[in-house]
Amino acid sequence: MRLMGHRRNRAPLLVALVLALLLFSVWSVSAQESLQPKKAPSILFQQIGKPGGTLTLRLGASPKSFNFYGVIDSSAYTIMMGNVLEPLVEANPVTQVLEPALASSWDVSKDGKTVVFHLRPGVKWSDGVPFTADDVVFTMENVLMDPNAEGNSVDRFTIGGKQVHWYKVDEHTVKAVLPQPYGAFLQVLSQAMMVPKHKLAEYVYPLNPKLKPGAINNAWTTNWNLKDIVGTGPFQLAEYTVDQKVVLTRNPYYWKVDPKGNRLPYVDKLVYLIVPDDQVALAMFKAGQIDRMVISGQDYPMLKKEELAGGDIRVFRGQPVQNTPSPLHVAFNFDEPNPALRAVFRDLRFREAVDYAINRSRIIDEIYNGLAIESGVIGVQRTNKAFYNPAIEKMRHPYDLKKAAELLDAMHLVDKNGDGVRELPNGEPLRFTLTAAVDIKEHQDTAVLIRDTLQKIGIKVDLQLIKFGLCFDKAMAGEFQAMILAFGDQPDPQLRKAIWQPGWPLYYWHRSTMTKDGKLNQEALLPWEKTLWQLFEQGETAMNPAARKKYYDEVQVLFMKELPVIFLVKGMDLSAVHKDVGNAFQTKDGVTVWTNYTVFKK
Amino acid sequence: MFGYILRRFLYMIPMMFLISVVCFVVIKLQPGEFGSQYFENPRVSAEAVIALRHRLGLDRPAYEQYLYWVKGIVTRGDFGYSFAYKRPVGELIWERMAWTVAVSSLSILFTWLVAIPVGIYSATHRYSIGDHLLTFFGFIGISIPSFFLALALIYLVVSTGGTAVGGLFSPQYIGQPWSWAKFVDMMNHLWIAVIAIGTAGTASLLRQMRSNLLDVLGAQYVTTARAKGLSERVVIYKHAVRNAINPLISIFGMELPEVISGTIISSIVLNLPTIGPFFYDALLNHDQYLVMTFLMLSAFLMQIGNLLADILLAWADPRITYQ
């Protein structure tokens, strides 16, 4: 009884204490969790937008999955990347310069091997669960480094054969430990989208031992309950109608604001209509069912005319910012089986002669309707503020058939029998096959134009026009003599060294630089290829952006000088948008501005 | 009759097996495989592609891949797994089946409902202005590729200020529950698909019906029927048409696989959520088990169609019997 009495007396006190504790913890959590929003860069705004409305865009193919790391599929990327999932650091959509995103700041240690990231306070997943250091470590260690995840990034975060490791310091701080300094680290991080641990951990193999390796690929498929697919991005998935449309709604917890401090995104709904056929998409755009789309060079004149005639659309011809496809190039097979022809292909004078003989302004005017520019090299265009080397402009060879003929004469490739075709030293005609994609009109037309101009300087070219996919397979197998091709590319040369550095599978014009088991074959390297290889190696380990740029500046100069491949032109970024969409415009530099979270419906 | 049908079903087993071998060989003859498309992708390393090939078993000999697939079907009724979608192929095909069957059945229905009466009219009014006009349109219908007709119709709709182009619904109705407005919207879209896909079939069927009926109309029993004093109506519909329709029943049987596989290009152009474009995509992607399952389904329907046609023939024509 006494005890009971005691309790009765103490109860209110206890309750008060508990309440106070609870209040305190709520207060401390909310203080800790109050969002520190990011002001979206002012370069993305023409005016402050009006909230509300639906933005409708086109998707060229159905998504294969919604799992960013479980699939290699451009539709899945279009839907998830930037709309639903976001990285710790992000590239400015206009300048490509890296900025804070889910990490609000970071410190690099003196030796360049440790980077500490401070996560943006108060960020939440679209289901309201806080975004924490656990999510970062989960994404970086368990998801994107899973070699069995189909869209993994193992090679991006493996440096010199060793993996980057991530550690939680506290709820809002993570530490990355690099095996050695790695220049492109923040760049690759800008493509590492954070995924929620609380939704995905049970589908990841080593964490859930009941699963098989690669189980992650079977999560977030197209039949998944969309409520369980959450992100930190401006939108969240709301509905998917198979092969017809994907609907996203605004994420109420989104952490970016406009320059006036209004919450982004402006639009309530983002709809992707799945329209595989370009002509139908164009018809739907003209009928007002699609708000904005990327257009082709062939459609540009027609749409521009409509704009000038007072139609309700605007058509943009933007400086190339898109990295894919890389500039169109011509490659000659350095491993050509015929020794006489191989010697010619390896002779710089021959490649220079071809370079002089190519009339790029004709390609731009006649084939691209004026909607292209003379390209930079290895995918670095003028708009790329981080890597472009202006020195290459002075190294361009002008269109000069006389000079081209002189170079060939100097190689003792002359037409002895008067049939209009020069002969090789062994008496065979100077004749080769040029392979190009028949299903990409620009490639095909460029091939025809090159054949015709080379004929003028006594080189006989046979065309082999086949499907792009086959071109690609032939290039990879080394079954070609000359090839016109373009690749998917990246803004940072390090990320696509598999194309441009000798010894990689995509360095297809000189496949013997790679051994059968995928290693570098030192003996096969030409003298300048040794330098090229070295420059890429140095660029990889430099941590300081200025030092990195120096190496890649040299790479660009080397490509201009030695012409491993001959770069032609790069198409411009063409798009059309209805006039009732705000914050879609062009900057003074001619770059087209468009982000789904800053545009609005007037 | 029952024994006959059972026998036909038993014949199908070795037939399907043979077809599956041929299909698999043809698929494997295509250059490249599922992994090779990723080499040009800037996000994918070469090592990742090699690992992917290994995980999907694509580095094993082709016959092993085939046997693995057959084993799944025989032991578990599992038609395999789509490389691209990471989901069972049966499920993926099923998801797209409803619209596919609906659109194809409608266009086949359109074909027959138009072609048969018009064919009869043409035959009974031979060399009249009406016949000439219908023949003229028939030939145009045969010679215009259906995807082109689809594009032309879309152009027509857009240039007259219409918005019902592409797909089966306007964007706001996709994924919404059924309502009268949604139904009307669907009808607004559907007529383009039905006409574009159905026209070529209509035209050729019409020609077939006309010539069959003309053959029959010249036969002696028609003259006899007329001589007996039967009305022209009875002569045509009860005697002539019934005999003229037999070859069309065989054609009908052949059309069954069209329900799922017909008019891939038109479906792409018309942006229909049917299985045709899906299959085309799988072919390009080398999504081999998806392609195989689809081809097998198509072959199976072809055989069922033939069987149905044979049964229908026996029913329509008492002269035909099967042991």
Instruction: Check whether residue A340 and residue A431 sit in a common domain.
Output: yes
Is residue A555 assigned to a domain? no
Q: Select from A56, A488, A504 the Cβ nearest to the Cβ of B42.
A: A488
pLDDT band at A24 (very low <50, low <70, confident <90, very high): low
* pLDDT value, residue A6: 46
Q: CB A279 to CB B154 under 8 A?
A: yes
Interface residue of B53, B165, B168, B274 to substitute, partner A, most A CBs within 10 Å:
B165
Looking at the predicted structure, is the pLDDT value of residue B305 above 60? Answer: yes
Is residue A480 assigned to a domain? yes
Q: Taking CB atoms and an 8 Å cutoff, what residues of chain B touch A66?
A: none
Q: What is the mean pLDDT of residues A254-269?
A: 93
Looking at the predicted structure, is the pLDDT value of residue A243 above 50? Answer: yes
Q: CB B47 to CB A286 under 8 A?
A: no
Is residue A536 assigned to a domain? no
Interface residue of A156, A242, A328 to substitute, partner B, most B CBs within 10 Å:
A242
Q: What is the mean pLDDT of residues A469-490?
A: 86
pLDDT band at A7 (very low <50, low <70, confident <90, very high): very low
A88 versus A418: the higher-pLDDT residue is A88
Q: Taking CB atoms and an 8 Å cutoff, what residues of chain B touch A242?
A: 95-96, 273
Prediction pTM value: 0.81
CA A123 vs. chain centroid, Å, equals 26
Tokens of B208: 């077939």
Looking at the predicted structure, is the pLDDT value of residue A26 above 70? Answer: no
B273 versus A250: the higher-pLDDT residue is A250
CB of A190 within 8 Å of a chain B CB? The answer is no
SS3 A577: strand
Angle (CA) A410-A416-A418 rounded to 5° is 120
CA A164 vs. chain centroid, Å, equals 22
| Domain housing A266 | 242-319+573-601
Is residue A228 assigned to a domain? no
* pLDDT value, residue A35: 84
Interface residue of B36, B45, B178 to substitute, partner A, most A CBs within 10 Å:
B45
* pLDDT value, residue A211: 87
Instruction: Check whether residue A462 and residue A343 sit in a common domain.
Output: yes
CB contacts under 8 A, A 7-46 vs B, are none
* pLDDT value, residue A315: 93
Looking at the predicted structure, is the pLDDT value of residue A292 above 60? Answer: yes
Q: Select from B269, B273, B284 the Cβ nearest to the Cβ of A280.
A: B269
Query: How far is the C-alpha of A79 from the C-alpha of A58, rounded, in Å?
Result: 11
Contacts of A177 (CB under 8 A, 6+ apart): A113, A114, A164, A165, A166, A167
Q: What is the mean pLDDT of residues A479-493?
A: 87
A518 versus A130: the higher-pLDDT residue is A130
Looking at the predicted structure, is the pLDDT value of residue A5 above 50? Answer: no
CATH code for the domain of A193: 3.90.76.10
- The four Cα atoms A491, A494, A498, A503 give a dihedral, to 10 degrees, of 150
φ, ψ (nearest 5 deg) of residue A100? -65, 145
CB of A169 within 8 Å of a chain B CB? The answer is no
Is residue A4 assigned to a domain? no
CB contacts under 8 A, A 298-317 vs B, are none
| Residue B235 DSSP class | I
Q: CB A242 to CB B87 under 8 A?
A: no
Return the closest-CA partner of residue B37 out of B270, B303, B284.
B284
Interface residue of B39, B54, B264 to substitute, partner A, most A CBs within 10 Å:
B39
Q: What is the pLDDT of residues A187-238, one digit of tens each?
A: 889 989 999 999 999 999 888 888 888 889 999 999 999 999 999 999 999 9
Q: CB A487 to CB B158 under 8 A?
A: no
Q: What is the mean pLDDT of residues A32-40?
A: 81
Q: Taking CB atoms and an 8 Å cutoff, what residues of chain A touch B165?
A: 280, 283-284, 287, 289
CB contacts under 8 A, B 10-69 vs A, are 31-32, 36-48, 51-52, 55
Q: What is the mean pLDDT of residues A76-83?
A: 92
| Residue B307 DSSP class | H
Q: CB A277 to CB B155 under 8 A?
A: no
Q: What is the pLDDT of residues A58-78, one digit of tens each?
A: 998 899 999 999 888 889 999
Instruction: Check whether residue A83 and residue A167 sit in a common domain.
Output: yes
CA A541 vs. chain centroid, Å, equals 21
Query: How far is the C-alpha of B299 from the C-alpha of B293, rounded, in Å?
Result: 10
φ, ψ (nearest 5 deg) of residue A158? -115, 120
Domain boundaries, chain B: 89-316
Q: CB A276 to CB B36 under 8 A?
A: no
User: Would you identify the CATH topology of the domain B89-316?
Assistant: MetI-like fold (1.10.3720)
CB contacts under 8 A, A 318-357 vs B, are 323-324
pLDDT averaged over every residue in chain B: 85
Is residue A49 assigned to a domain? no
| CA distance, residue B37 to nearest chain A CA (Å) | 8
CB of B270 within 8 Å of a chain A CB? The answer is yes
Angle (CA) B136-B142-B146 rounded to 5° is 130
ipTM above 0.90, yes or no: no
Query: How many CB pairs lie under 8 A apart between chains A and B?
Result: 148
Q: Taking CB atoms and an 8 Å cutoff, what residues of chain A touch B41?
A: 72, 488
pLDDT band at B257 (very low <50, low <70, confident <90, very high): confident
CB contacts under 8 A, A 222-251 vs B, are 222-223, 239, 241-245, 247
Q: CB A498 to CB B151 under 8 A?
A: no
Count: domains in chain A? 3
* pLDDT value, residue A1: 37
CB of A217 within 8 Å of a chain B CB? The answer is yes
* pLDDT value, residue A546: 84
Q: What is the pLDDT of residues A41-54, one digit of tens each?
A: 989 999 999 999 99
Instruction: Check whether residue A261 and residue A195 sit in a common domain.
Output: no
Q: Taking CB atoms and an 8 Å cutoff, what residues of chain B touch A271?
A: 171
Instruction: Check whether residue A339 and residue A259 sit in a common domain.
Output: no
Is residue A17 assigned to a domain? no
Chosen domain end from A202, A218, A234: A218
CB of B269 within 8 Å of a chain A CB? The answer is yes
Interface residue of B50, B85, B159, B283 to substitute, partner A, most A CBs within 10 Å:
B85
| CA distance, residue B147 to nearest chain A CA (Å) | 11
Is residue A541 assigned to a domain? no
Looking at the predicted structure, is the pLDDT value of residue A509 above 50? Answer: yes
CATH code for the domain of A307: 3.40.190.10
Q: CB A148 to CB B38 under 8 A?
A: no
Place of tokens 């020609």: B207
Instruction: Check whether residue A127 and residue A262 sit in a common domain.
Output: no
Q: What is the pLDDT of residues B142-174, one digit of tens each?
A: 888 888 888 888 888 888 877 777 788 888 888
| CA distance, residue B175 to nearest chain A CA (Å) | 6
How large is the greatest C-alpha to C-alpha distance in chain A, in angstroms?
A: 125
Handedness of CA A75, A573, A48, A89 (dihedral sign): positive
Looking at the predicted structure, is the pLDDT value of residue A11 above 80? Answer: no
Instruction: Check whether residue A441 and residue A484 sit in a common domain.
Output: yes
Q: Taking CB atoms and an 8 Å cutoff, what residues of chain B touch A287?
A: 158, 162-163, 165
φ, ψ (nearest 5 deg) of residue A294? -80, 135
Rounded percentage of chain A residues whose pLDDT exceeds 90: 56
User: Do the strands A329-332 and A98-100 form a parallel or antiparallel pair, or are they unpaired?
Assistant: unpaired
Least confident among A118-122, A406-410, B100-104: B100-104
Looking at the predicted structure, is the pLDDT value of residue A176 above 70? Answer: yes
